[in-house]
């Protein structure tokens, strides 16, 4: 597998996110034997150390020198932990600059999915999203994304099996950090690319770039691309997603076809059902017609209500009818089970709650 370009090892002040080879080079640049880098790699990704001084296999003098030089592992601190009745766990983590992000662990009997954020806030401002309501601060660094997987692993005391970039932020506005974190999650944490999903609402002219960069930097592009449509036509999509005005749905779907031609990986389409708005039977017919030519999959999501939100959760019967129409049209369809509804389940809700109390 090809690795991401290696920066000058001597300038690495944050270690989380680096590969074994990068850590070996870093150790040598510090006057240490290469095996010290492999030891650090083990303590970062297997033992999930949070501080340099916790890596007791390193000589004390070396640890002291690293601390004096400002070298850190790059872990965040946990601000809050909410556990729903179904055991879904939402963590609020605080970065070094004081910004907070959410990550979620979703356990089932046979898997543990970690939902990670790629930005602090989100600039897309989707009307149905609590994250968008909170505004945008910055994109996350690689170590801040990887840390979310480690934090959930430690909090639940279970090895994650899947990772989805469906938390706060738009991943395609942070492609470099997203791809480097996928490399790390795959190679260093041992989670297969096919068990990683990148969800996007769509950013003009970036899907082909994502495909090409993934192949260039990761050696392959086997993660799942999930495109959030949320509407069957341009007019309705613009009313829900402000940025859709500059990225027509026809152009988005053309980019999806280009992504498939480059990667050979089918595209998933996500569709949030908003009660009484985009959940009508004619909307299901229109959606089926629009995506039926794709080798694709449609993932339906019943809306999770948010505080002061203008939308409502759709009726169960309406959801079932919508799904049945898509199936009759020959589409592969699943309904994502709602999790954590009693503990601020929607993206951005926990962060918004703590900001309001500050």
Q: Which of 126, 129, 256, 347 is catalytic?
A: 347
The pLDDT value given to residue 295: 84
Average pLDDT, the chain: 91
pLDDT in tens, 8-49: 444 579 999 999 999 999 999 999 999 999 999 999 999 999
Query: Catalytic residue at 256?
Result: no
- DSSP of 127-192: TT-HHHHT-EEEEPPHHHHHHHHHHHHHHHTS---EEEE-SSS-GGGSHHHHHHHHHHHHHTT---
Q: Is residue 50 part of a domain?
A: yes
- Same structural domain for residues 182 and 290? yes
Q: Is residue 193 part of a domain?
A: yes
Q: Is residue 4 part of a domain?
A: no
* Structural domains counted in the chain: 2
Strands 162-165 and 196-200: parallel
Q: Considering only CA atoms, which of 358, 357, 1, 3 is closest in space to residue 180?
A: 3
Token couple for 305: 């209500």
Tell me the C-alpha distance between 344 and 310, whole Å.
16
- Same structural domain for residues 62 and 116? no
Q: Is residue 125 part of a domain?
A: yes
Q: Considering only CA atoms, which of 90, 96, 83 is closest in space to residue 140?
A: 96
User: CATH no. for residue 39?
Assistant: 1.10.150.530
- Same structural domain for residues 180 and 267? yes
Q: What is the dihedral of CA 32, 34, 39, 42, to 10 degrees?
A: 140
Tell me the C-alpha distance between 194 and 134, whole Å.
32
Strands 196-200 and 296-302: unpaired
Tell me the residue range of the domain where 233 lies. 77-357
Alpha helix stretches (DSSP H) within 264-332: 281-291, 316-328
22 contacts 10 by C-beta, under 8 angstroms: no
Q: Is residue 240 part of a domain?
A: yes
Q: Is residue 159 part of a domain?
A: yes
- Same structural domain for residues 29 and 98? no
Residue positions counted in the chain: 358
- Same structural domain for residues 54 and 105? no
pLDDT in tens, 104-130: 999 999 999 999 999 999 999 998 888
167 contacts 347 by C-beta, under 8 angstroms: yes
Location of structure tokens 């299901």: 284
- Same structural domain for residues 90 and 132? yes
Query: Catalytic residue at 347?
Result: yes
Q: Is residue 3 part of a domain?
A: no
Q: Which of 22, 24, 102, 170 is catalytic?
A: 102
How many Cα atoms occupy the beta-carbon half-sphere of 157 within 13 Å?
Answer: 0
The pLDDT value given to residue 7: 41
- Which regions in the chain score pLDDT beneath 70? 1-11, 308, 339-358
Q: Is residue 1 part of a domain?
A: no
Tell me the C-alpha distance between 41 and 23, whole Å.
7
The pLDDT value given to residue 8: 42
169 contacts 122 by C-beta, under 8 angstroms: yes
Q: Considering only CA atoms, which of 250, 254, 286 is closest in space to residue 271?
A: 286
Sheet containing 89-94: which strands, arranged edge to edge?
A: 77-83, 89-94, 100-107, 112-115, 162-165, 196-200, 224-228, 267-273, 296-302, 333-336
Tell me the C-alpha distance between 108 and 120, whole Å.
28
Return the SS3 of 357.
helix
Token couple for 344: 């601020």
């Amino acid at each position: 597998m090809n690795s991401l370009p290696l920066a000058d090892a001597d300038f690495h002040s944050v270690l989380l996110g680096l590969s074994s080879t990068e850590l070996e080079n870093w150790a040598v640049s510090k006057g240490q034997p290469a095996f010290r880098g492999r030891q650090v790699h083990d303590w970062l990704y297997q033992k999930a150390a949070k501080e340099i001084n916790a890596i007791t296999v390193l000589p004390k003098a070396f640890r002291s020198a690293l601390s004096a030089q400002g070298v850190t592992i790059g872990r965040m601190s946990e601000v809050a932990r909410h556990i729903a009745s179904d055991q879904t766990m939402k963590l609020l983590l605080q970065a070094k600059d004081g910004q907070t992000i959410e990550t979620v662990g979703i356990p089932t009997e046979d898997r543990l999915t970690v939902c990670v954020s790629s930005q602090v806030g989100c600039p897309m401002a989707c009307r149905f999203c609590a994250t968008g309501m909170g505004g945008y601060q910055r994109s996350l660094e690689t170590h801040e994304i990887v840390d979310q997987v480690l934090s959930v692993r430690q909090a639940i005391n279970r090895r994650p099996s899947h990772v989805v970039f469906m938390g706060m932020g738009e991943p395609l506005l942070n492609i470099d950090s997203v791809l480097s974190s996928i490399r790390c999650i795959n190679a260093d944490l041992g989670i297969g690319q096919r068990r990683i999903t990148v969800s996007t609402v769509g950013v003009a002219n970036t899907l082909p770039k994502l495909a090409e960069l993934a192949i260039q930097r990761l050696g392959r592009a086997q993660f799942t691309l999930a495109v959030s449509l949320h509407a069957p036509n341009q007019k309705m999509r613009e009313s829900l997603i402000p940025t859709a005005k500059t990225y027509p749905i026809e152009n988005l779907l053309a980019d999806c076809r280009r992504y498939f031609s480059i990667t050979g990986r089918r595209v998933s389409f996500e569709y949030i059902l908003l009660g009484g708005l985009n959940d009508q039977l004619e909307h299901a017919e229109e959606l089926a017609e629009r995506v039926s030519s794709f080798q694709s999959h449609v993932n339906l999501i019943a809306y999770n209500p948010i505080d002061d939100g203008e939308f409502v959760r759709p009726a169960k019967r309406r959801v079932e009818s919508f799904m049945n129409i898509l199936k009759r049209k020959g589409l592969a369809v699943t309904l994502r089970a709602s999790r954590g509804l009693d503990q601020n389940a929607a993206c951005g809700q926990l962060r918004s709650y703590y900001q309001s109390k500050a």
